[in-house]
Amino acid sequence: MTITFQGKPITLKGTLLHTGDTMPEFTLTDNALNPVHSRDLTGTRVFLALPSLDTGVCDLEVKTFHQKASELKGVFLYAVSLDLPFAQTRWCAAAGVDKVKTLSDYRDRSFGQATGTLIDELALLTRAVFVVNQNNQIVYAEYVPEITDHPNYQAVYQKLNELVF
């Protein structure tokens, strides 16, 4: 799989995930600087891997999922980036986002390594979406081919509708 940033190929570190895989373990940091272990995140989950909340595409992506969140009862939405927790808190407050939880991979990049989303050249996460069911199985995995493009929202929503309705 070739992923590009502004048309130039980039290198991803870690293991690419596929539908049917088990979601690997990782540790992130919440906005209060507390560790969040993947084993403590349960239920139907959507992980949005993002380069940075302070970019136009990431901003719109998280806001789009936030708007849809009220229709997705029982689904937990997580936006993961290497942004510092302070920046994530600031962004959420400014954007009015409270239905998508932001988590940072800045400490050890374990999410990026575990999900194959860590961009070697940029030290950012590539744009990807993982839908994980209550059994910790990945039921949807999308690595967006061009980082500056949006994910396939309709495909994600369709998969979530199959899981929760």
To the query of whether residue 58 is one of the catalytic residues in this protein, the response is yes
Q: How confident is the model at residue 1 (pLDDT cuts 50, 70, 90)?
A: confident
Tell if the pTM clears 0.75, that is, is over it.
Answer: yes
Query: Which CATH superfamily groups domain 4-164?
Result: Glutaredoxin (3.40.30.10)
Q: What is the pLDDT of residues 101-141, one digit of tens each?
A: 999 999 999 999 999 999 999 999 999 999 999 999 999 99
Q: Closest Cα to residue 153, out of 72, 99, 55, 43?
A: 72
Q: Please tell me the predicted confidence (pLDDT) of residue 165.
A: 67
Q: What is the pLDDT of residues 49-107, one digit of tens each?
A: 999 999 999 999 999 999 998 888 889 999 999 999 999 999 999 999 999 999 999 99
Q: Closest Cα to residue 48, out of 61, 60, 35, 34?
A: 61
How open is the CA angle 45-49-52, to the nearest 5 degrees?
A: 135
Kindly name the residue from 23, 41, 46, 58 that is annotated as catalytic.
58
Q: Closest Cα to residue 150, out of 62, 54, 66, 71?
A: 62
